[in-house]
Structure 1
């Protein structure tokens, strides 16, 4: 029973994160497009990214809401957070000529070091969720 509560807390944290960031991007959509055009990626990727990133965040949040799809949601969360963390590390290592942040809402006000710890926290949340969910799904042998 305790494991189930912890899984729900972990999934709720990720749902809150992904819904918040996607809604923030959509509410300031023109700003988001400008920030994506300022990324070190080719500008032809902007139309793809501005629609797929927020939509994927909402999809991941949806997967985390249901017991049957939570494990997939935790895995997708881990992949997303690892990608964001690698990007943050590359910024901190001065790999890019410019370092714009296209995060939504208050998250964009974090320093890159704070971003790294923020992302690592959510990597840990996703990893813990995967571990606990797998334990929950594994049949016990008596």
Structure 2
């Protein structure tokens, strides 16, 4: 039980660092972020909305993760966002788009698309585990390979 709480707390901390870093990077280099969004494979008419929406959602998730009362919904929002980014990265890797610059913020923007895919997949996996651990926090009798813990 204690290990699950430590894992969940560590996952929450990593998500806070990730989303705070990427959102602040986008706001600090807003012109570059907008330029990259305009080079994405969707209509440029979406850019004004997305340029404010994406970093704002990341900040909202950070705020939600900070408080125990809102942490559950923020974990689900984190998972949804990371799954969406992972699907998008998968489409890039599968060649669905001719040219796609990374419009991520911070150090994540220095990853190539394969690294980005596995980075995202890592966060999908740990966020899923954290959600499952939180939802099963009252269940002390988990079965592992036929033995009770």
Superposition TM-score, scaled by structure 1 size: 0.93
Max radius of gyration: which structure? 2
Counting only pairs closer than 5 Å after superposition, residues 1-142 of structure 1 correspond to structure 2 as 1-136=2-137, 138=138
* Whole-Å separation in 1 of the counterparts to 2:108 and 2:62: 18
Which range is displaced more, 1-10 or 25-34?
A: 1-10
Deviation, structure 1 residue 2: 3.3
Distance apart, 1:50 and its partner CA: 0.4
Worse overlay, 43-52 or 127-136:
127-136
In terms of fraction of residues, the more helix-rich structure is 1
- Give 1:129 shift: 1.1
Q: Deviations over 1:60-102 (max 9, x none)?
A: 1111111111111111011000000000000001101211100
3-state secondary structure, aligned to 1:83: helix
TM-score, normalised to structure 2, is 0.89
Structure 1 unmatched ranges of 5 or more:
none
Structure 2 residues without counterparts, runs of 5 or longer: 141-149
- 1:29-86 per-residue CA deviation (whole Å, 9 max, x = no partner) reads 0000000011001111000000000000011111111111111111101100000000
State the distance in 2 between where 1:14 and 1:106 align.
14
Aligned length: 140
